[in-house]
Amino acid sequence: MTAQKDLATPAVRTISPYVPGKPLSELEREYGIKDSVKLASNENPLGPGALALRAMQQAMTEIGLYPDGNGFELKQALAHHHRCGVERITLGNGSNDLLVLLPEAFLTLGSEAVYSQYCFAIFPIAVQATGATGKMAQAFADDHPMALGHDLDAMARLVNERTRLIYVPNPNNPTGTWVQTKPLKRFIASLPETTLVVVDEAYSEYVSDPSYPNASAWIDEFPNLVVTRTFSKAHGLAGLRVGYSVSSAAVADLLNRVRQPFNVNSIALAAARAALDDREHLKRSAELNAAGMKQVRELLQPLPVRVYPSIGNFVLVDCRRPAGAVYEAMLRQGVIVRPVAGYGLPNHLRITIGSREQNVRMAEALGRALSG
C-alpha cells in the first residue's frame, strides 16, 4: 500500500479528504435508531417541486440513451434567466464540479489561489490537488459585526503576480456570513485581469437582504469574474448533482475543455430545466426557510449557545465547549447536525434549517445534549 501511495503526487498525498455529513441510513444502521432527522447538509426540507418531479419521470423513459452532452435546453433557459449569451454558461455535476474544474483549468505548480479562513472545505482541497499554493486570509475576529466572515482587505493583501484564483463564497458555508454589494464590487474591480475571482452563490435564492449582490449581473463589466450556482439547495435537487457557472465566453470555453463528457445526467438536466420555471416552489422554499430561521433562533435563545447571523439555510452555533460530544449526544437522539472542527471551529455545529417539526426536535436534542 505504501508503494502505491508513493505513486501519487506529493500534493495529493497530503490532502485531508472532504468528509460529508452523515447520511440517515448510516446513523440508523450504526445506532439502531428509527425516524431520525438529518439537518447536516443544508438540504431543502421540501425536496424537489412538482414540475421537477414530473420532468424526472418523463426523462426516465429515455434513460437508456446518453444525455445531451451540451445540455442545450438547460443552458438556453439559464442564459435567459441571467440575461446573457448561452456561451457564458458551463454546466457541472453540482456547482462543486465547477469549483474543482476552475483550479484544474487555471492553476499550475508555482501559481497561487486565495481563500478565506473558515471557507468551504472544497476550495483548499481543489487548489492543493493541482500542486498550486493556497493562501488563506484571516477572517474577521469573533467580536467583529460580521464575525468569522471574509475580510476582503486581508484577501487583497495576499494577491500578487502569481495569483490566478480567488474564492469568495457568498454567503459562506459554514459560517453563514456574507459580503455586501459595494465592498464586493470594489474588491473585484481592484483585482488584476490575470486573477479570476470565483463568487459562489449556492444559497442566493434564500437571501432577501437588499444589500446582497447578484454578482452574475456583473459579468460584462468584469471578464475575470466567475459566478457559480447550484440546484442542490433552494431547488431541492441535491441528490441529482447539477449546478452551473456564469462567466465570460473565454473562461467558459476553457472550462468546457476540461469538463467531463456527459457530466450532468439526463434526469438532472430535465429536473433542473423544470425547476428553473417553478417560481412557486422556490417561493415556498424561501418562505419556509425564513420562518424556520426565525423559529430556530427563538428555540435556541434560552440555551447556553451563541447563534451567529446567517442569510443561508443554516446557522452556525457555538456550543461554548468541544462540540464533538454534543454532536454525538444528538446522534443518539436521532438528530444529525454537522460538527465543523475540520474548519478550525472545534466548539461549533452547523445546523440546517428544517421543517417546523424538525427544528423543534433539533432544539430539544441540543438542549438535552448540552445539559449532559
In tens, the pLDDT along 204-246 reads 999 999 999 999 999 999 999 999 999 999 999 999 999 999 9
The one-letter amino acid at 337? V
Residue 321: count other Cβ atoms within 10 Å of its Cβ: 13
If you ran DSSP here, which 8-state letter would residue 171 be given?
Answer: S
Positions of E strands within 121-279: 133-137, 163-169, 196-200, 225-230, 243-246
At residue 16 the predicted structure's pLDDT band, cuts being 50, 70 and 90, is confident
Per residue in 136-168, pLDDT tens? 999 999 999 999 999 999 999 999 999 999 999
Selected from 3.40.50.80, 3.40.50.970, 3.40.640.10, 3.40.250.10, the CATH number assigned to the domain covering 50-278 reads 3.40.640.10
Backbone φ, ψ for residue 28 (5° rounding): -70, -30
**81 exposure class (CB count in 10 Å sphere: 0-12, 13-18, 19+):** middle
Which pLDDT does position 180 carry in this prediction? 97
Q: Extract the C-alpha cell encoding 37.
A: 432527522
Q: What grid cell was written down for 281?
A: 416552489
Closest C-alpha among 244, 253, 236, 248 to residue 289: 236
The domain segmentation of the chain, as residue ranges, is 2-47+280-371, 50-278
Question: CA 54 to CA 43: how far, in whole Å?
Answer: 20
CATH number 3.40.605.10 is the correct assignment for the domain at 2-47+280-371:
no
- Please tell me what DSSP assigns to residue 351: E
Kind of pairing between the strands at 133-137 and 112-116: parallel
- Secondary structure letter of residue 85 according to DSSP: -
Q: Please give the Cα distance from 57 to 235 (Å, whole number).
A: 17
Give first-to-last CA distance, the chain, whole Å: 42
Cis amide prior to 171 (ω within 30 degrees): yes
Residues in the chain: 372
Nearest to 244 by CA among 288, 211, 275: 275
The answer to which of 13-22, 45-54, 97-106 has the lowest mean pLDDT is 13-22
| pLDDT at residue 187, rounded to an integer | 98
Question: Distance (Å, rounded) from C-alpha 164 to C-alpha 167?
Answer: 10
Confidence at residue 18, expressed as pLDDT on a 0 to 100 scale: 66
pTM attached to this predicted model:
0.93
pLDDT at 150: 98
Q: What is the reported pLDDT for 24?
A: 81
Q: Is the peptide bond before 67 cis (omega within 30 degrees of 0)?
A: no
Residue whose cell numbers read 482587505: 153
Average pLDDT of the chain to the nearest whole number: 95
| pLDDT tens digits for range 19-70 | 777 778 887 788 788 889 999 999 999 999 999 999 999 999 999 999 999 9
Neighbours of 122 (CB within 10 A): 18
- Find, among 267, 265, 208, the residue nearest to 93 by Cα: 265
Which amino acid appears at position 172 of this protein? N
**Cell representation of residue 9:** 503526487
Confidence bin at 2 (pLDDT 50/70/90) = low
Mean local confidence (pLDDT), 298-308: 98
Predicted confidence at residue 20, as pLDDT, reads 72
